[in-house]
Amino acid sequence: MNGFFTSLTFTKKYVFALSLIAFFSFAAYINLVRLIDSQSNDVKVINISGKQRMLSQKIALFAIHYKTKSLEEMVDLMDSSHSYLLSLEMSDELKKIYYSKPVLLDEKIREYISRGRSFLKHRDGRSLTYILTNSQPLLKDLDTAVSIYQKETEMKTENLKNVELFIFLFISATLLFEALFIFRPANNSEKRKTKELKSQKEYSDIITEINNNAIIAVDGNFNILTFNKSAQNMFGYSAEEMLHTQLLDDRIIPLKYLDRHVKGLKNFMLSGEFNNKNYVFELEGQHKDSKIFPIRISFGSKIEDDSKIVVANIQDITLEKEKDSLIVEQSRFAAMGEMIGNIAHQWRQPLSSISTIATGAKLRYKNNLLSDEELDETFIKIKDHTQHLSKTIDDFRDFFKHDKKIEAFDVCDVVNMSITLTDAMYKDNGINLVLKSGGLKVMLMGSGSELSQVFLNILNNAKDAIKDKKIKNAVVLIEVLSDDEYVVVKIHDNAGGIPDDIKTKIFEPYFTTKHKSQGTGIGLFMSKKIISNHFNGSIEVQNREFVVNDEKYFGAEFSIKIKQTEI
């Protein structure tokens, strides 16, 4: 029972105690009503029983003096009062007096009343003699009855008083119980919770202060409530300069973001909702010395009643951006190395053809076997090969452009360009490169050369995996799929797949399974960044089967998913 009670919440304990008090208060009220009613009835009974004594003596007195009218009234009153007393519930002691020998009070009273009526009617001496003879003995018996009525009334009153005392004691005990086991524990609990909240606040303040990120909290009036140590270091302002001032100016927010910032804050304060609550933004902050630096920022909020607080969590990503720039440069150099290899493959056959044509023409010329028509044909062939070399140079130059122009482009055109850049290399390694695009024309907005870099990274990795594992009947399949919302480019190879223990690591920077002379481990990392940051898409890898010309193959599948944009 104790365990059950202690398991109850404060509210339930309080309701339970109040219910007990209410119940016993109601019981006390009922008991008081009963006491008043009982006392009222008992007083009436005692008065009537006492009145019978007086009536018995008046009947005798009026009978002696032959006052018939008064005698008749007294007889009627005694008869009616006796009938009333008999109609009430009697105790065993009263029943014994009224109905049992030796007293037989009921019988005596009825006989006394009967003799009184007989005397009124006949004026007989026998009735008068009975009345006079029995008036005193009847008075004595009536005194006994009255004393019993009085004693029982006192007992009832005492019992009701005892009940009242019990209720009083129980209510007092309940109040004491409530004080000891409800209010005192509740008070202790509140003190403990207050202490815990205070400790939590102190802990939260400490965490906020030692947090490496800048923490800035703003209330509903745009006043700054929190400006932690990291915020002071990041923006160059002291807490005294910033706290309790409004965050509606360009002290730490560059002007180009200020309108957007103010609009977002006001919208939240009005609606209580963030449009981009779970987003992490890469924006810019402004130092006290006016220096602009890159930041990563996310927002949280706290709403209590009419109070709204916005909390900004800000990270200075200057070093990260510098590192990214370094990785981008390394990626460009790595890609350049890959492309130089591709150029060698692309140029080897045309240069060999030019050399063969020129050597053949020279020999035929020395032997006077070269006609003017054959010479013209030789020049045309050499020109065709040099134009092919020139086009190859243009393709590689486009790939290495520094200005990544944002424009509309056809995904299939980029895929075809990537195939062109790797075609000779794939042929030299005996790899069958298959394209399935179904004649799609899917337009995207962005940098086509960046997307081509992603495709080339994957195609080069597929070539290296096939070459390292010495795969026979090597196949690489490129699929271009599209629906109303997304375009998906899947690149399959049949090199046997990627081991599960490294599959989750291949998009990490500097992770590579190749010898350091063959790879830097940043190609797939940069590919993921390009797809995520520049195309708002995703790139995933899994091992699965694919089919080419009714033949089943197994290996890695890189799936690039990009949301289409209206051009």
Kindly report the three-state secondary structure assignment for every residue of 281-315.
EEEEEECCCCCEEEEEEEEEEEEECCEEEEEEEEE
Domain ranges of the chain: 2-186, 211-316, 322-563
Are the beta carbons of 522 and 487 closer than 8 angstroms? Answer: no
Strands ordered across the beta sheet of 538-548: 432-436, 475-482, 486-493, 551-563, 538-548
pLDDT for the residue 558: 95
DSSP character at residue 246: B
DSSP character at residue 221: T
Nearest to 116 by CA among 66, 182, 72: 72
pLDDT for the residue 162: 76
pLDDT for the residue 239: 85
Reading the block at residue 270, the tokens are 């009005």
**Helical pair 411-428 and 448-468, crossing angle rounded to 10 deg:** 30
Length of the chain measured in residues:
567
- Three-class SS of 497-546: CCCHHHHCCCCCCCCCCCCCCCCCCCHHHHHHHHHHHHHCCEEEEEEEEE
**Which CATH number describes the domain made up of 322-563?**
3.30.565.10
With tokens 């196949």, the residue in question is: 475
DSSP character at residue 1: -
Report the distance separating Cα 453 and Cα 528, nearest Å.
Answer: 11
Write phi, then psi, for 413 (nearest 5 degrees).
-65, -40
Report the distance separating Cα 113 and Cα 83, nearest Å.
Answer: 12
Report the distance separating Cα 547 and Cα 28, nearest Å.
Answer: 91
Beta 407-410 vs 432-436: how paired, if at all?
Answer: unpaired
Residue type, 233: N
pLDDT for the residue 560: 95
Burial class (CB in 10 A: 0-12, 13-18, 19+), 463: buried
Beta 486-493 vs 475-482: how paired, if at all?
Answer: antiparallel
One-character DSSP codes across 76-137: HHHHHHHHHHHHS---HHHHHHHHSTTT-HHHHHHHHHHHHHHHHHH--HHHHHHHHHHHHH
Report the distance separating Cα 203 and Cα 362, nearest Å.
Answer: 89
Burial class (CB in 10 A: 0-12, 13-18, 19+), 486: middle
> Computed over its alpha carbons, how large is the radius of gyration of the chain?
56
Reading the block at residue 455, the tokens are 């495709």
Handedness of CA 117, 121, 127, 128 (dihedral sign): positive
Nearest to 527 by CA among 418, 450, 454: 454
Are the beta carbons of 229 and 216 closer than 8 angstroms? Answer: no
The residues, any chain, with a CB within 8 Å of residue 368's CB and separated by 6 or more, are none
pLDDT for the residue 198: 62
pLDDT for the residue 515: 40
pLDDT for the residue 439: 82
pLDDT for the residue 520: 43
Architecture of domain 2-186: Up-down Bundle (1.20)
Report the distance separating Cα 226 and Cα 214, nearest Å.
Answer: 10
Write phi, then psi, for 132 (nearest 5 degrees).
-70, -35
Are the beta carbons of 91 and 152 closer than 8 angstroms? Answer: yes
pLDDT for the residue 518: 43
Q: Which residues of the chain register pLDDT less than 70?
A: 1-18, 20-45, 160, 175, 177-187, 189, 194-210, 272, 274-278, 304-306, 324-350, 352-353, 384-385, 388-389, 391-404, 509-522, 566-567
Report the distance separating Cα 55 and Cα 75, nearest Å.
Answer: 8
Nearest to 452 by CA among 422, 482, 425, 431: 422
pLDDT for the residue 78: 84
Residue type, 421: L
CA-based max dimension of the chain: 196
pLDDT for the residue 529: 84
Homologous superfamily (CATH) of 211-316 is: PAS domain (3.30.450.20)
Are the beta carbons of 183 and 190 closer than 8 angstroms? Answer: no
Do the domains 2-186 and 322-563 sit in the same CATH topology, yes or no?
Answer: no
Question: Cβ atoms within 10 A of the Cβ of 450, count?
Answer: 20
Report the distance separating Cα 318 and Cα 388, nearest Å.
Answer: 44
